Structure 1
């Protein structure tokens, strides 16, 4: 039974966000690490994300039952009740927001609340079922964790935080498109209006390649504004070059599902390495314009 409740939180998503929070946190810390602040920021953000994922499971039951990869989830199988799941989500959310509120700052809390609202209300309740733009709006939620980590340290929303936010929004587009292609039959069965189902796989691949280019350009801004060093730029450029190669090779792919899986897996590797590198190759820099504080 414990395992069923753990899986309701979507551990894979939590782990990915855990890494991105660390990246933002270490980038803002510039080598001066507050271990207690890091711990509460990671735990608080993870609990908020977990809460949102449980609520998403509750909302998506009618969709999950139609999809091969989700039809055995605990709520679909009724091995966990809706009431128990709601209570579980509420406890996770309350503890998560409490940790961020009492031990970080209001800016970090605000981004956690924004991400939760976008994912649960805008994405899960409406856009996932009704709009082809679901991925774009949902990316706003996925871009919040690294900004939470950054703002927990800096207590301001500056150019560095803005670049991280835009960068993670862009990254999620080709990442999600790859999932949509790989699981296209599931999405069609559940009548979810993902891009490849509505506009075709070719258009999806084309947009993926464009987003990879935008990701490369945006990530380079961290070097331009002196947040990271040359080591970061070299590694980042190499990763993006290979991701772009994969994107372009998709136009000649014999099996779209095989290509999409490969493209997706590398996107995970890329963002993980990115988060690690910005944690290590940081630069001591002044704050640049566009500062917002709470």
Structure 2
């Protein structure tokens, strides 16, 4: 039974957000890690994300039963009831928000709230079912954890935080579309208007390449503005060049599903390496505030 409740929180998503939260925290910490603050930030963020995932499961029951990869989820098979799942998600969220607000700082809680609202209400309840722009909306929630990690230490929203928000949002696009092409039939069966289903796989590949380039250009600003050192820039651009290569290779692939799976997995590896690299590549800048928070 424990496993059913664990999988209701989508461990894969939790792990990804755990890594990106670490990245933001490492960037702001500049090599000086406050371990209790790090643990509280990770725990609070993970609980909020877990809460959002539980509510997403509740909302997506009708969609999940039409998709091969989700048709065995606990709410679809009735292994867990909706009222119990609602209570479970609510408790996770309340504890997570409380930890961030009282033991980290209110700004971290604000960005956790933004991510939660966007994911549960704007994405899950609305655009996922109705709009081709669903991935853009969802990318905002996916970009909040690194910002939470950053402001947990910096206690301000500066240029670095904005770069993280934009950069990680741009990364979400090709990452999500890679999954959508790989699981094309699932999305078609569920009638979800994601880009490759609503338009075409070719258009998705074109837009994915554009967002990969935007992601790399945006993240380079961390070096340009002095938040990360030359080692970060070399790592980013070297791995980024290979992602561009994979994007271009997609136009001539003989099997879209095989290519898309590789493309998706590489995006995960890329963001993991990049996020963890901030532990060694962050430098002490002279912050320029965008907002006096």
Matches of 1:234 and 1:31, distance apart in 2 = 19
Counterpart of 1:167 in structure 2 is 167
Counterpart of 1:34 in structure 2 is 34
Question: Unpaired segments of 5 or more residues in structure 2?
Answer: none
Q: 1:30·1:282 contact (CA, 8 Å) conserved in 2?
A: yes
The alignment partner of 2:174 has SS state of helix
Shift in Å, 1:262? 0.5
Shift in Å, 1:279? 2.1
| TM-score normalized by the length of structure 1 | 0.99
The equivalences for 1:206-221 within 5 A come to 206-221=206-221
Shift in Å, 1:290? 1.4
Q: Deviations over 1:88-112 (max 9, x none)?
A: 0011001100100111111111000
Shift in Å, 1:156? 0.4
Q: 1:146·1:164 contact (CA, 8 Å) conserved in 2?
A: yes
Shift in Å, 1:289? 3.8
Q: 1:75·1:81 contact (CA, 8 Å) conserved in 2?
A: yes
Question: Unpaired segments of 5 or more residues in structure 1?
Answer: none
Counterpart of 2:271 in structure 1 is 271
Q: 1:159·1:291 contact (CA, 8 Å) conserved in 2?
A: no
| TM-score normalized by the length of structure 2 | 0.99
Matches of 1:24 and 1:216, distance apart in 2 = 17
Aligned residue pairs, count: 293
Structure 1 residue ranges (4+ consecutive) displaced by more than 2 angstroms after TM superposition: none
Q: Deviations over 1:7-61 (max 9, x none)?
A: 0000010011001111101110112211111010000000000000000000000
The alignment partner of 1:227 has SS state of coil
Counterpart of 2:67 in structure 1 is 67
Shift in Å, 1:120? 0.2
Matches of 1:94 and 1:18, distance apart in 2 = 18
**What is the alpha-carbon root mean square deviation over aligned residues?**
0.7
Counterpart of 1:140 in structure 2 is 140
Matches of 2:280 and 2:45, distance apart in 1 = 22
Shift in Å, 1:264? 0.4
1:6 is aligned to 2:12: no
